[in-house]
Structure formats: C-alpha cells, structure tokens
Amino acid sequence: MILNYLRLITLIILFIYYQNSYAQVIADGLPGCLAIEDSAGTSCGGGTTFFGINGLGQFEVNNIDGEFCCSGSGGDGSGYFEFEEIDISCFQDIMISMNYSASSTNYEDDFPTAPQFGCTGTGTDNSHDQIVFMYIIDGGVEVQSLYVHGTTQGNFTGTWNEGPLNGNTLTIKVYAANKASAEKFYFDNLVIEASASSVSAGDDFTYCGDGPINLDGDGDG
C-alpha cells in the first residue's frame, strides 16, 4: 500500500515537472511569420553589397558600414534590422534563440570590449566588424544581450540565446556592421518560446498577429 502511494506521488511530481518545463513556440522568423518591421543600412566604400532577405530566407548583411556614412571614410556601425513587436502578456518566461553565421574571410576587431556606434574620425570607421543583439520589453530602452566580434568566421558563427523574459510586449533588434565586399553575416531560425502556464492551451501552434485566437484547451481561471 505504501509502495503504491509512493509511486503515485512520484508520478504526480513528474507530471507537474513536465507541465512546468514544457515550452511552446509562440512566434518564429527567418523563416516564419514574424516580419521584419524596420531596417536601415548603407555601404560607404563601394564594392559588392547586400542588405535584406536573401534567396535562402536569411537576413544577409554584406558590406554594410552602418546606418550613416562618416565624413572621412566608412560608417557609424549602426546598421540594424528590427522585428515587429509581439504581445507576450499571456505568456511567461519567454526564451529567444536565433542563429548567426558569416562568410569565410578575415574580419577586424578594433573594439574588443564593447560595441562601437558613431563616427570616430579614424580608420576604425572603415574596419570594425560587429553584431549586437538587443531586445526591448514594454517599449522601453534597448537592452544589450550579446556582443559578437572577432577576426574569424568562427567568431561570427553561433546561436544567440536570451531569457527568461517577462512583460507585455517584446521587440527584437539586431545591429550588424561589416565593411568589405567579402564580409557577409547571415541570420536565420529565430524562435520565441514561452513556458506553459497552469492552464493548458492545447496543442502547440505558432501565432503571429494582434487578432483574437481560439485555444483548444482546458483549465480553471
């Protein structure tokens, strides 16, 4: 009798753990339904350049010096793309992941300790390469999550992970600057997940939008 009782308690604990640890995808992009709402970037030194969605569905940054060019040479390093704001008020413990990669070439790392934005008036305006992942909660200030820099393809290849985050709205913004025709950054496979609440919403689904949705689930609340 006691053994059966202990088994029942163990099953209940495992069930609660599973429910609390289970995560569902609430939005995705590149590819997916979460659109890029805003972007700005320019090439200041000539040569091959690209800034936008490529044929593979990735956001590609190629020879983009910044949002604006500097008076001497190069750019301010502030080129960016930003996803549309999403409502996260019905979810908790938001987790973000997105892959980034780069072409095989040499890169420049003039500012190894922190990102550089703006014109310096020196040769670094035309050399420093960087990626900076940001997020914004509830329309507030940009929060720096990950600064990517270095001199090799491997330094600019990985997965950005952030969370858990909580709030009412979430915006994701990525700054990216590389300053030569051979230098390319690629971004894809954005996934935004949320921990399940105490009320089941039914099977997994991906939702992007502002309109009402019907959930096939049950619970009290």
Per-residue pLDDT of the chain (221 residues; tens, 9 = 90+): 555 554 545 444 444 444 445 679 999 999 999 999 999 999 998 899 999 999 999 999 999 999 999 998 899 999 999 999 999 999 999 999 999 999 999 999 999 999 999 999 999 898 999 999 999 999 999 999 999 999 999 999 999 999 999 999 999 999 999 999 999 999 999 999 998 655 455 555 555 655 555 555 555 44
- What's the whole-number average pLDDT of the chain? 86
Q: Do the Cβ atoms of 138 and 89 come closer than 8 Å?
A: no
Q: What is the pTM of this model?
A: 0.82
CATH architecture of 23-195: Sandwich (2.60)
Domain spans in the chain, listed from the N-terminal domain onward: 23-195
Q: Do the Cβ atoms of 100 and 160 come closer than 8 Å?
A: yes
HSE at residue 208, side-chain half, CA atoms within 13 A, is 16
Query: What distances in angstroms separate CA 65 from CA 57, 135, 173, one per listed residue?
Result: 22, 22, 17
Tell me what pLDDT residue 56 has: 96
Tell me what pLDDT residue 67 has: 97
Q: What is the pLDDT of residues 17-75, one digit of tens each?
A: 444 456 799 999 999 999 999 999 999 988 999 999 999 999 999 999 999 999 988 99
Q: Which residues pair with 193 in a beta bridge?
A: 25, 95
76 burial (CB, 10 Å; 0-12 / 13-18 / 19+) is buried
- In angstroms, rounded to a whole number, what is the distance separating the alpha carbons of residues 74 and 72? 7
